C-alpha cells in the first residue's frame, strides 16, 4: 500500500509541474463547454425535425427551430398550403391553466401529435399524461397513461368479466373468469365456458384473443408464466417525503425461465377445442400476436426460438388445427429480428397471403424476398447486392412495386447514408430516388400518394422536399435551413474519416469533433465517445448543432462504428456474437492510428474513452482488455456483466444457454486487469440497467486493490442525466489527460450551468 501511495504522490507532483506549463482551465471554459450546444441552437433558422403525416387527410407536420424557438408547421400535400399547425400561444395557456405548470408557447414539451375531428381536436402526450384539446375553444382534458416499468412480454392474467373482446358479427363477448375463457351472448341468454383447465400458473390470456373475420373461430394463447424476477430499489431522497421509498420492477435476466405461450383454437359453432400440435414451436422466446387471414382460412404467428437462432412464420389451419411452417430463418449466430420492424422481421402479405414479402440476411446482407404464401416456396429474391435494406417505406400490391431505404449501394460514399429506391416485386426496375450525397429520411403519406424527404449531412443543414409517388415528381421545396449565423459564430462540423479495419479491407467509418479554436499546428489529446451496442450503428450522419463539451476544453472527441455494430454486412455484425468484450476495439485502434498518421495534430499518446449504458460497458472493457492503448475511462450506467442485465438484449447477442462467454466478457470477472484510470457513474433509480452491476464491479475492483473513482447520483435514472455528472466527467479527463487541476467548484460556483 505504501508503494501505491508513493506512486500517487509522484503523479501529483507531475500534475503540479504540468500546471505550471499549462495554466489551468478556468470556470468560463467549463461554462462554455456545458452550454455551447444550446447557444449554437439559438443561431439557426428553420431547422426542421423529422416530419410526420397525420392520419386524416393528406397533410404532414414538422417542428422547426428558429433561434431556439420551436414552431409546428402543417403542409397540405394536395394544395401546397403551408400554415401553423395550431395556435401555440393559446395551447400553452390552456396547458398551463390545467396542469398548473409553466409551458412556453415556443418550446412545447412534445414533438408529435395527432389531429382528428376534421382537424378540430389535437391530442398528444407529455410525460405520462395524455392530452386532448378542442381547437375551437382550446379547452383541454387530460388522462394519466399507465407507466410501465420493467421488462418482459408475458401477457397478463385477467379475471374481470367486464373486460371482453367482441366478435366481428357482434353476437359474442369473450372474457376470462377463473383463468378460463367464457363466451357470453350479446342478449345475455348464453354464458358458455370454452375451457375448464385454466389456472393461475397456466392461464388463458384475454389480451391475446383474436376472432376470425367470420366470427366462427377464436384463437389465443395459453400462458405458463416464467420466472418472476424483480430488482429492488431504495429511493434515498424522494421529493415528496422525508423517508426513503422502496421500489421494485419486473426484470428477467439471461438464463431465467421465460413464459411459455402456446396457441389455442376454438370452433365457436360447435363450442369445441381444436387441438394444435406444438412440435413446430417447442421452445419459444416469444410468439407474435395472432393474425387471421382475411378469408378466415387460418391464422399466422411468428415464432422466435429461445436463443434467437431460429425464427419461423407459422400458419394454423382454422378447420383442422394443422400447423405449417411457411418461412424459416436460421442462423449459427443470431437472427437480428428487430432490424426493420419493432420486435419482428419485416413481413408484408400480398392479396391476403397469396404472396409474402419477407426481409432476411440469408445471403449475408439484409434484403427482401418474395415467397409463395400458400406453399412457402421462395419465388425470387427482390433486392440483392453488397448493401443493406434499412427500411421499407411503402408497398403497392397493384403496381407490384416497393419503395425502400438502403445504404452502402453507392461506391465512394459513406456506406451508412440511407437513400430511397423503388423496385418491382420481381427484382427488376431498381430506381434511385435521392441523388444528394446525404442521409435521407423518407415518410410516406397514409394513402401512398405522396412522400417527404428530409435529408442532411453532418456538414450540410437539413432540407425537406415533397414528392408525388406515382412519378416521383418534386412538388415543393418545403424547408431549407439557414446556418449562416451559426457558421459566423465559429461552429464547425465534425470531420468524417475512415480507415481499414482488422481484416485490412473493410472501411471503418467515424467522425472527429475538433477542439475549440482549432490550430492544425498544435497537438490535441483524443477522447473517444463509444457506444458499440450490436443493435445499431451510432456515428452521426445527419446535421446537428450538438457540440461535444470536451472539445471546448481542448480535446478532440471521436466516434467510430467498429465491427460488431449493425447496418453493414452480416460478417461485420457477427463479430459481436458471444463476444461483447471485443467492442470493435481492434478496428477502433487501427482507425486511431491511421488518423494519427494522417493528421499531425492527432495525439494518441494518452487516449481517453467514455460511454453510457452499453457504452459504459465498452469504456470499462477498453481499459481491461486494451490497456496498451486506452488509458483513462468514464463509464456511465453500464452493465458490467451481461448476466446482470435484461434478458432480451443480452441473450440476443451473448447467446442462450448462458455459457462461459458471459464470464469472458464480464468486466466484473476481469476487474483485476485494470491498469488505467477509471471513474464509474451510476444512477440510484436506473430502470434500464440494474445498478447493482456497477456496485458489483466496484466491489470486485476494491477486492482486487484497484484504485478508481465513483459517482453515485441519488434519484437519477439511466444515464444519470444532468450538468453535475457532466461536470464530473469533464473534470476527470482534465485531471488525468491534460494533467490540470480543475477549479475549486465549491468556492466559485453558486449553481451549475444548464446543459442540454
666-718 confidence digits (pLDDT tens) = 999 999 999 999 999 999 999 999 999 999 999 999 999 999 999 999 999 99
Give the residues across from 224 on adjacent strands. 260
- pLDDT at 476 (0 to 100): 98
Q: How far does CA 634 lie from the centroid of its chain?
A: 22
pLDDT over 80 at 429, yes or no: yes
Q: According to CATH, what is the number of the domain 493-739?
A: 3.40.50.1820
C-alpha to C-alpha distance for 695 and 704, rounded to whole angstroms: 14
The per-residue pLDDT for 20 is 36
Cα 44 to Cα 314, 470, 495, 591, 597, distances in angstroms: 52, 35, 20, 33, 35
Position 494 pLDDT exceeds 50: yes
202 forms bridges with which residues in the sheet? Answer: 199
Question: What is the predicted pLDDT for the residue at 752?
Answer: 72
Tell me if 560 sits within 8 A of 588, measured CB to CB. yes
Please compute the mean of the pLDDT values over residues 593-603 and round it to a whole number. 98
| Per-residue three-class SS string for 330-350 | ECCCCCCCCCCCCCCCCEEEE
Supply the pLDDT for residue 18: 42
Count of residues for the chain? 756
Highest averaged pLDDT of the listed ranges 10-19, 342-351, 646-655 = 646-655
Summarize the confidence of residues 728-753 as an average pLDDT: 90
Q: How many helices (H) and strands (E) does the chain have?
A: 12, 45
Alpha carbons 687 and 684: distance in angstroms, whole number: 9
Percent above pLDDT 90 for the chain: 92
Q: pLDDT-based confidence at 343, cuts 50/70/90?
A: confident
Let me know: does 291 contact 300? Beta carbons within 8 Å: yes
Task: State the DSSP string of 144-202.
Answer: EPPP--S---PPPP---TT--EE-TTSSEEEEEETTEEEEEETTSS-EEES-S--BTTB
The tally of CA atoms less than 13 A away on the side-chain side of residue 624 is 26
pLDDT band of 254, cuts 50, 70, 90? very high
Secondary structure of 10-48 in HEC code, one letter for each residue: HHHHHHHHHHHHCCCCCHHHHHHHHHHHHHHHCCCECEE
Per-domain residue ranges of the chain: 50-144, 493-739
Please report which confidence band the pLDDT of residue 23 belongs to, taking 50, 70 and 90 as the band edges. low
Span 613-668, pLDDT tens digits? 999 999 999 999 999 999 999 999 999 999 999 999 999 999 999 999 999 999 99
- Angstrom distance (rounded) from CA 70 to CA 518: 31
Give the span between the Cα atoms of 297 and 589, in whole angstroms.
Answer: 57
Model confidence pLDDT, tens digit, residues 528-566:
999 999 999 999 999 999 999 999 999 999 999 999 999
Q: Are 116 and 56 in contact (CB under 8 A)?
A: yes
**Least confident range of 132-141, 334-343, 745-754:** 745-754
**Cβ(150)–Cβ(216) below 8 Å:** no
CA-CA distances (angstroms) from residue 54 to 74, 90, 113? 10, 21, 8
What average pLDDT does this structure show over 259-286?
96
Could you count the other beta carbons within 10 Å of the beta carbon of residue 347?
19
In this predicted structure, the answer to whether residue 733 has a pLDDT above a threshold of 50 is yes
| pTM, to two decimals | 0.94
According to DSSP, the β-strands at 524-529 and 602-612 are parallel
Give the percent of the chain with pLDDT over 70: 96
> Residue 6: is its pLDDT beyond 50?
no
Structure confidence at residue 342 as a pLDDT band (50, 70, 90): low
| CA diameter of the chain | 92
Distance CA 332, CA 726 (A): 41
Give pLDDT, residue 17.
38
Q: Report the pLDDT value the prediction gives residue 340, as an integer from 0 to 100.
A: 78
pLDDT band at 273 (very low <50, low <70, confident <90, very high): very high
Instruction: With beta carbons less than 8 A apart as the criterion, state whether 498 and 508 touch.
Output: yes
Query: Would you state the pLDDT for residue 125?
Result: 96
The average confidence (pLDDT) of the chain is: 94
Q: Distance between CA 435 and CA 441 in Å, rounded?
A: 13
Residue 91 has what pLDDT? Answer: 97
Distance in angstroms between the alpha carbons of the first and the last residue of the chain: 42
* Segment 402-417, tens digit of pLDDT: 999 999 999 999 999 9
240 CB burial (10 A radius; 0-12, 13-18, 19+): exposed
553 and 517 Cβ atoms separated by less than 8 Å:
no
C-alpha distance from residue 543 to each of 59, 508, 539, 756 (Å): 25, 20, 12, 17
Closest CA to 91 of 46, 64, 131: 131
Amino acid at each position: 500500500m505504501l508503494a501505491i501511495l508513493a506512486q500517487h504522490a509522484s503523479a501529483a507532483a507531475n500534475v503540479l509541474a504540468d500546471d505550471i506549463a499549462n495554466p489551468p482551465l478556468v470556470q468560463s471554459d467549463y461554462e462554455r463547454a456545458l452550454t455551447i450546444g444550446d447557444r449554437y441552437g439559438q443561431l439557426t433558422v428553420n431547422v426542421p425535425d423529422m416530419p410526420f403525416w397525420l392520419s386524416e387527410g393528406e397533410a404532414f407536420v414538422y417542428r422547426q427551430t428558429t433561434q431556439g424557438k420551436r414552431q409546428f408547421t402543417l403542409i397540405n400535400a394536395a394544395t401546397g398550403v403551408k400554415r401553423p399547425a395550431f395556435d401555440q400561444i393559446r395551447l400553452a395557456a390552456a396547458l398551463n391553466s390545467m396542469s398548473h405548470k409553466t409551458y412556453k408557447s415556443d418550446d412545447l414539451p412534445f414533438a408529435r401529435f395527432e389531429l382528428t375531428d376534421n382537424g378540430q381536436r389535437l391530442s398528444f402526450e407529455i410525460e405520462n399524461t395524455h392530452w386532448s384539446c378542442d381547437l375551437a375553444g382550446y379547452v383541454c382534458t387530460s388522462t394519466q397513461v399507465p407507466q410501465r416499468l420493467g421488462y418482459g412480454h408475458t401477457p397478463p392474467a385477467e379475471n374481470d368479466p367486464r373486460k371482453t373482446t367482441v366478435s366481428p358479427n357482434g353476437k359474442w363477448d369473450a372474457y376470462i373468469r377463473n383463468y378460463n375463457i367464457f363466451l357470453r351472448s350479446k342478449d345475455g341468454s348464453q354464458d358458455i365456458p370454452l375451457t375448464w383447465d385454466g389456472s393461475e400458473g397456466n392461464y388463458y390470456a384475454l389480451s391475446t384473443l383474436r376472432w376470425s373475420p367470420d366470427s366462427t373461430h377464436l384463437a389465443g394463447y395459453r400462458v405458463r408464466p416464467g420466472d418472476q424476477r424483480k430488482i429492488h430499489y431504495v429511493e434515498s431522497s424522494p421529493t415528496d417525503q422525508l423517508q426513503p421509498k422502496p421500489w421494485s420492477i419486473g426484470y428477467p435476466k439471461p438464463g431465467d425461465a421465460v413464459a411459455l405461450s402456446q396457441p389455442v383454437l376454438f370452433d365457436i359453432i360447435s363450442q369445441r377445442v381444436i387441438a394444435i400440435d406444438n412440435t413446430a414451436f417447442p421452445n419459444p422466446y416469444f410468439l407474435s400476436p395472432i393474425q387471421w387471414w382475411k378469408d378466415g382460412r387460418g391464422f399466422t404467428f411468428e415464432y422466435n426460438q429461445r436463443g434467437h437462432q431460429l425464427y419461423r412464420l407459422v400458419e394454423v389451419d382454422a378447420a383442422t388445427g394443422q400447423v405449417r411452417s411457411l418461412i424459416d430463418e436460421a442462423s449459427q449466430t443470431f437472427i437480428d429480428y428487430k432490424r426493420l420492424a419493432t420486435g419482428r422481421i419485416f413481413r408484408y402479405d400480398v392479396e391476403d397471403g397469396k404472396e409474402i414479402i419477407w426481409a432476411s440476411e440469408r445471403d449475408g446482407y439484409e434484403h427482401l424476398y418474395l415467397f409463395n404464401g400458400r406453399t412457402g416456396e421462395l419465388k425470387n429474391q427482390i433486392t440483392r447486392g453488397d448493401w443493406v435494406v434499412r427500411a421499407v417505406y411503402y408497398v403497392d400490391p397493384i403496381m407490384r412495386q416497393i419503395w425502400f431505404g438502403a445504404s452502402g449501394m453507392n461506391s465512394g460514399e459513406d456506406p451508412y447514408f440511407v437513400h430511397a429506391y423503388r423496385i418491382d416485386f420481381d427484382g427488376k426496375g431498381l430506381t434511385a430516388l435521392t441523388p444528394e450525397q446525404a442521409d435521407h429520411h423518407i415518410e410516406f403519406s397514409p394513402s401512398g400518394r405522396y412522400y417527404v424527404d428530409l435529408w442532411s449531412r453532418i456538414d450540410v443543414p437539413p432540407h425537406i422536399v415533397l414528392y408525388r409517388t406515382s412519378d416521383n415528381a418534386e412538388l415543393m421545396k418545403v424547408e431549407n435551413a439557414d446556418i449562416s449565423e451559426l457558421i459566423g459564430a465559429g461552429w464547425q462540423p465534425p470531420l468524417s474519416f475512415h480507415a481499414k479495419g482488422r481484416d485490412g479491407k473493410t472501411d471503418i467509418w467515424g467522425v472527429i469533433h475538433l477542439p475549440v479554436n482549432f490550430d492544425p499546428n498544435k497537438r490535441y489529446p483524443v477522447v473517444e465517445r463509444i457506444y458499440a451496442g450490436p443493435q445499431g450503428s451510432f456515428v452521426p450522419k445527419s446535421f446537428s448543432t450538438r457540440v461535444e463539451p470536451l472539445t471546448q476544453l481542448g480535446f478532440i472527441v471521436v466516434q467510430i462504428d467498429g465491427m460488431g455494430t449493425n447496418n453493414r454486412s452480416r460478417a461485420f455484425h457477427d463479430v459481436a456474437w458471444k463476444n461483447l468484450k471485443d467492442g470493435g476495439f481492434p478496428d477502433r485502434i487501427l482507425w486511431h492510428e491511421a488518423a494519427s498518421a494522417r493528421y499531425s495534430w492527432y495525439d494518441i499518446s494518452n487516449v481517453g474513452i467514455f460511454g453510457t449504458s452499453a457504452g459504459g460497458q465498452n469504456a470499462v472493457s477498453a481499459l481491461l482488455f486494451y490497456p496498451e492503448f486506452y488509458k483513462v475511462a468514464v463509464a456511465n450506467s453500464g452493465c458490467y456483466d451481461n448476466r446482470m442485465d435484461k434478458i432480451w438484449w443480452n441473450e440476443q447477442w451473448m447467446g442462450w444457454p448462458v455459457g462461459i462467454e458471459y464470464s469472458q466478457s464480464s468486466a466484473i470477472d476481469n476487474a483485476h486487469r485494470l491498469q488505467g484510470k477509471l471513474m464509474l457513474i451510476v444512477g440510484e433509480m436506473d430502470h434500464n440497467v440494474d445498478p447493482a452491476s456497477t456496485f458489483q464491479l466496484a466491489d470486485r475492483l476494491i477486492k482486487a486493490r484497484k484504485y478508481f473513482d465513483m459517482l453515485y447520483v441519488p434519484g437519477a435514472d439511466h444515464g444519470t442525466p444532468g450538468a453535475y455528472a457532466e461536470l464530473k466527467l469533464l473534470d476527470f479527463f482534465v485531471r488525468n489527460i491534460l494533467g490540470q487541476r480543475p477549479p475549486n467548484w465549491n468556492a466559485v460556483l453558486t449553481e451549475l450551468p444548464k446543459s442540454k
